[in-house]
Structure 1
Amino acid sequence: MSEKNLKRITKGYEYVIMVFMMIFGLVIAAYFALSIYELVLPLFQHLTHEDFTDISKNILSAFLFLEFLVIIKDYFSSNANIHFEDYLYVAVTAIIRSILVYHDNALKTLLLCGAILILVIAIILYKRYQTQNNKLPDSEHGR
């Protein structure tokens, strides 16, 4: 295949990915709005009794949706790149949500806390590597 055809195929895939990211962003925004609605609705209904677990589940779901929206915004603003660090933050948030909502098994909670520790260490190492890599002269970056 010629290089010109490969560039066309690549551009086509980039276009498809952009369209799906836009659709995904709209779906996530709709779920974010729904979770905000579910949080605000009990404030105006005086007779309903909301369980703390349900409220915390809705709050943490809203944070997850918000993080995904920020990642999608960063995807479009950073020339179609998603940073590895964003995935780590989403993973930490999802695990924290799981711990706060489903904390009935002590061993499972302890394992999830260990997973958070590993992810936090990964974030620290990643940031340290990024700052060290950014301090190198351009000739050492391979440019």
Structure 2
Amino acid sequence: MKMDKKFSYVPLFLQWVLNILLTLLALILSVFLVKETFTIYQIIFNLDGTPAIDLLESILNFFLYFEFIALIIKYFEAHFHFPLRYFIYIGITAIVRLIIVDHKDPMDTILYSGAILVMVVTLFIADLRKKSSN
């Protein structure tokens, strides 16, 4: 019994470390989000000679940063719990970005599309379970 009480502060300490590091990560991602916004501005107004096709990739990068920041916010709002839905949203966005950036092999594109379908079905099942539990 004394051993349990002796180390009872460890989870609390680790939770604090995690919270501090997630806050730092959110700040770093915010800087990248602002940088990506500036890149989108440059592409739209063609200030640096970047091809317009890169606009879509930059927009998807923007949303990936945005979703990770939203995930960290939800973590704190949900009292230190990561909602599964947000990981699935991030995964879908990441695979869409991958399809847009690397679409040379049709078989890979079909497999990526299948992965998106699996994630959408997972979201649907999770929503059904959530509605049935309420």
Given the two structures, how large is their TM-score scaled by the length of structure 1? 0.85
- Offset from partner CA, 1:16-47 (integer Å, 9 cap, x none): 1001101111111111111111111244555x
CA distance in 1, matches of 2:25, 2:115: 27
2:114 maps to: 114
CA distance in 2, matches of 1:34, 1:56: 15
Q: Does 1:73 align with 2:73?
A: yes
Identical counterparts, % of pairs: 23
- Counterparts of residues 43-62 of structure 1 (less than 5 Å): 43-44=44-45, 48-62=48-62
Report the alpha carbon displacement of residue 87 of structure 1 after superposing the two structures with TM: 0.6
- Counterparts of residues 96-111 of structure 1 (less than 5 Å): 96-111=96-111
Q: Which runs of 5+ in 2 are unaligned?
A: none
Does the CA contact (< 8 Å) of 1:53 and 1:101 recur in 2? no
1:128 maps to: 128
Does the CA contact (< 8 Å) of 2:43 and 2:55 recur in 1? no
Larger Rg: 1
CA distance in 1, matches of 2:84, 2:45: 40
Does the CA contact (< 8 Å) of 1:60 and 1:97 recur in 2? yes
Q: Flag the 1:110–1:43 CA change in 2: closer, same or farther, 3 A.
A: closer
SS in 2 for 1:52: coil
1:95 maps to: 95
2:39 maps to: 38
Does the CA contact (< 8 Å) of 2:64 and 2:93 recur in 1? yes
CA distance in 2, matches of 1:7, 1:84: 28
Q: Greater shift after overlay, 36-45 or 124-133?
A: 36-45
CA distance in 1, matches of 2:79, 2:69: 16
Q: Flag the 1:33–1:58 CA change in 2: closer, same or farther, 3 A.
A: same
Please list every run of at least 4 consecutive aligned residues from structure 1 whose deviation after the TM superposition is greater than 2 angstroms: 1-7, 41-46
CA distance in 2, matches of 1:45, 1:56: 14
CA distance in 2, matches of 1:119, 1:30: 29
Does the CA contact (< 8 Å) of 2:74 and 2:82 recur in 1? yes
Q: Which runs of 5+ in 1 are unaligned?
A: 135-143
User: Residue type matched to 1:9 in 2?
Assistant: V
Given the two structures, how large is their TM-score scaled by the length of structure 2? 0.91
